[in-house]
Structure 1
């Protein structure tokens, strides 16, 4: 297993450990207080545990080497794990919203706020420690599964703070309905977090093109090679922490196959230095031959080479 795979698994194990600890504490707090806001926090933590298990499975599968049936690797397993988390978070948000609405109409109030506040404070400390480790792992691996898990646990900080505020306002300030209202707000927060977390996973599963800034940097590197006469039909995508790119380049029609091969190798070396771990497929064409039509036929190299002149 690669070093990135080991780091991702360590972050997933850490998430499972923290979620298991908090699940036990919050279950006791719900029994002690009857708080809807705390119940929402418990539901979120339960899903944290399930999602962390899915994350572990996702990063484990993604770390498997390429095989005959998966020549592009297993990296999309991370995006699938992330989408599974999104589904769980969405279900949690809907269930919590329904319970909070029912409590508002029934006028029910929690008891024993001190226990709930203590548990939420402990949860925040444990979550801060986990987030610190996840940030370190994400910086080195760019794992989408760990990133989604990280986003979820970041929302937990606000969630636990909301639980503390709800219990304090309801029990100590005497503001009836605060607990149910905060429970409803937490549900909205979870739903919004699920929506945001789904976007990157969907982009990878749908093989969305790189952002314009990344493409521009890629073309700037390719444009440095003097032997190239043009570049078109650029296609890019990302799966897990791996980037894939393919494109056509125009070279001198009189260049030998060996010379063209050497040029392609030089281009790949430069791109690998700028984009470590990238998978590259280059198709050389004789200058003037473009079989593609529309946007695929556009010469992107000319734009990249003229960019420095325009900016200067």
Structure 2
């Protein structure tokens, strides 16, 4: 990808992130008013989720900005892990909010009282769903052009918000029109549990990146399947992979006949890198050439890992 394409991608991703921040800010004010008027626990939980959406969108904006920065002399592998650090901060906020909402929901269940003005919450949730749908459509268009991992994650988060807004509408409607007083608090508790699960999932993903965990088996297998179609990679071994922010890294050893010149080996490796990066956008490949029959002694992978790395 050339510099002009990089700049265009960065611009599109920043616009999508700014749109996300704008929608989250609008919904935060709308739901804040509805929660204040209705006194609904489910609406309060939805408000907390929107507040977290705003934080997530700001983090995404920051992550996209950092991801667009080129590697420098102090960060030779780029700045991708800044996204994971920001995600852990985000997780702490989500977990704290989930605990507070759950406590409020339990108190409301013990002292059940009708919701003051459920209509305000219903209208706010419907408007929120409409705004979220518009944002999702725009994000899909950007992702199709940039394949941004950060925007893609934000897109998935807002897709789940559609279900959340629907749950709030259902809870308030049952409270108002079916007379089920405790259902609002019950839905608030369920939303708190859902937020807690989201925090756990996000934390796991962020820690995996910080610890340089290997790619998921499906992705790793896809890489090996592609490698198997390239004749020159028949001598590939010791594959290692990791992900940092929106960037993937793969390094491995390749066997060459002893008489192969450095120039020829370089040309072969460049061709391989071109094919791999075309299939895996955002991938950085590092290839170490070995003479046929060479076996690494120091720093070699354990036998079980080496066997899994072979094609």
- TM-score norm. by structure 2 comes to 0.88
Give the match for residue 165 of structure 1. Answer: 170
**Given the alignment of the two structures, is residue 217 of structure 1 paired with residue 234 of structure 2, yes or no?**
no
Q: Which residue of 2 aligns with 1:46?
A: 51
Partner of 1:57: 62
Q: Secondary structure at the match of 1:2?
A: helix
Structure 2 counterpart SS, 1:191 = helix
Is 1:255 matched with 2:260?
yes
Distance 1:118 1:225, change over 3 A: closer
**1:155 and 2:160 correspond:** yes
Displacement, 1:113? 1.5
Work out the CA distance in 1 between the residues paired with 2:86 and 2:63.
5
Residue 8 (structure 1) aligned with residue 13 (structure 2): yes
The equivalent residue for 1:264 is: 269
Say which of 21, 25, 42 aligns to 1:20: 25
CA gap of 1:67–1:174, structure 2 versus 1, over 3 A, is same
The equivalent position to 2:106 in structure 1, one of 86, 101, 104, is 101
Partners of 1:286 and 1:229 in 2: CA distance: 13
Q: Aligned match of 2:187 in 182, 187, 211?
A: 182
Give yes or no for contact 2:150–2:246 (8 Å, CA) kept in 1. no
Aligned to 1:308: none
Change (3 A) 1:213 1:35: closer
Contact 1:33 1:113 (8 Å CA) reproduced = yes
**8 A contact 2:67–2:246 mirrored in 1:** no
Number of aligned residue pairs: give it. 302
Contact 1:290 1:297 in 2 (8 A): no
How many angstroms apart in 1 are the aligned matches of 2:93 and 2:72?
A: 31
Measure the CA separation in 1 of the matches of 2:226 and 2:162: 41
Asked if the contact 1:82–1:145 (Cα under 8 Å) also holds between the matched residues in 2, the reply is no
Alignment of 1:195-234 (within 5 A): 195-227=200-232, 230-234=235-239
Deviates more, 1:86-95 or 1:116-125: 86-95
Contact 1:142/1:240 (8 A) holds in 2: no
- Aligned counterparts of 2:94 and 2:111: Cα–Cα separation in 1: 26
Q: 1:180 to 1:134 in 2, by over 3 A?
A: same
Which residue of structure 2 aligns with residue 243 of structure 1?
A: 248
Pick from 258, 274, 283: which aligns with 1:278? Answer: 283
- Distance apart, 1:220 and its partner CA: 3.7
Per the normalisation by structure 1, the TM-score is: 0.88
Corresponding residue for 1:82? 87
- Please report the RMSD computed on the Cα atoms of aligned residues, expressed in angstroms: 2.2
CA displacement, residues 108-164 of structure 1 (integer Å, 9 cap, x when unaligned): 331111111111110110111112222333344444433333333222212221211
